[in-house]
Amino acid sequence: MRKGETSKDLAAVVFIVDDDLSMRDALTDLFLSMNFDVEAFETPAAFLERAASDRHGCILLDVRLPGLNGLDFQTHLDRVGNQMPIVFMTGFGDVPMSVRAMKAGAIDFLIKPFKDQDMLDAVAVALERDRQRRCRSAEIKAVKERFDALTPRERETMLAVAKGLMNKQIAHQLGISEVTVKLHRGSVMRKLNVRSVADLVRMVEFLNDDPISPAP
């Protein structure tokens, strides 16, 4: 990445992991012709060592590879938190392999030789899935940052408001005055950038759906 350039300035990248040089070259040419960035690797180890895996993109992964096979590599990526979408390709596909791959979250399972359009369609789906994932991650990060800006008392007030308690009830529960409750409510709404109790409730539900949920 050049100085001053951000990830938003870069084209989506297609990572190719296949020990067949002719297949790597053919896929590289295909995606370069469609204005994608391409990074090709012979083995999973090479991908792990050199891939810019924080980029927006997807992985085209051969099933039969030297050392760690593609299905086991899929499991490894999931274990280390790499959620980039995967399109599998193989010349020896069977039903159990494809079922395992799809159950583990693969976008598609293409049998070689496949049509260029089938690969392009699969990658289009994978990139859209990755875009949605990255947007979701950015949203979670933004919400967490706003939640982390709350004081412990403001968090207690937020949860009580979200449960539908009135100011008087919250004051009694927390052992503070109603005036103080109102001040905390106003601060919570401002810091979380919400305008209504309904919005606040949705944000609490959002927090509870992710590993950043506030402890009561």
Query: Which tens digit of pLDDT belongs to each residue from 148-197?
Result: 999 999 999 999 999 999 999 999 999 999 999 999 999 999 999 998 99
Tell whether the model's pLDDT for residue 3 goes beyond 60: no
pLDDT tens for 55-98 read 899 999 999 888 888 999 999 999 988 999 999 998 877 778 88
Please tell us whether the domain made up of 149-208 is placed in CATH 1.10.10.10: yes
In this structure, what DSSP letter does residue 149 have?
T
Q: Hey, do 7-137 and 149-208 end up sharing a CATH topology, with the first three levels equal?
A: no
The domain spans of the chain are 7-137, 149-208
Query: CA 215 → CA 83, 106, 212, distances in Å?
Result: 27, 34, 9
> The pTM is what?
0.73
Q: 9 pLDDT exceeds 80?
A: no
pLDDT, one tens digit per residue, over 126-137 is 999 999 999 988
If you search the block for the tokens 């109603």, which residue do you land on? Answer: 178
Average pLDDT of the chain to the nearest whole number: 87
131 in Cβ contact with 56 (< 8 Å): yes
Residue in 90, 80, 86 with CA at minimum distance from that of residue 18: 90
What number does CATH give the domain 7-137? 3.40.50.2300
With a pLDDT cut of 70, the percent of the chain lying above it is 91
CA dihedral sign, ordered 135, 130, 57, 65:
positive
Q: What is the pLDDT of residue 178?
A: 94
- The answer to whether 47 and 21 have CB atoms below 8 angstroms apart is no
Tell me: pLDDT of 99 over 80: yes
pLDDT of residue 211: 44
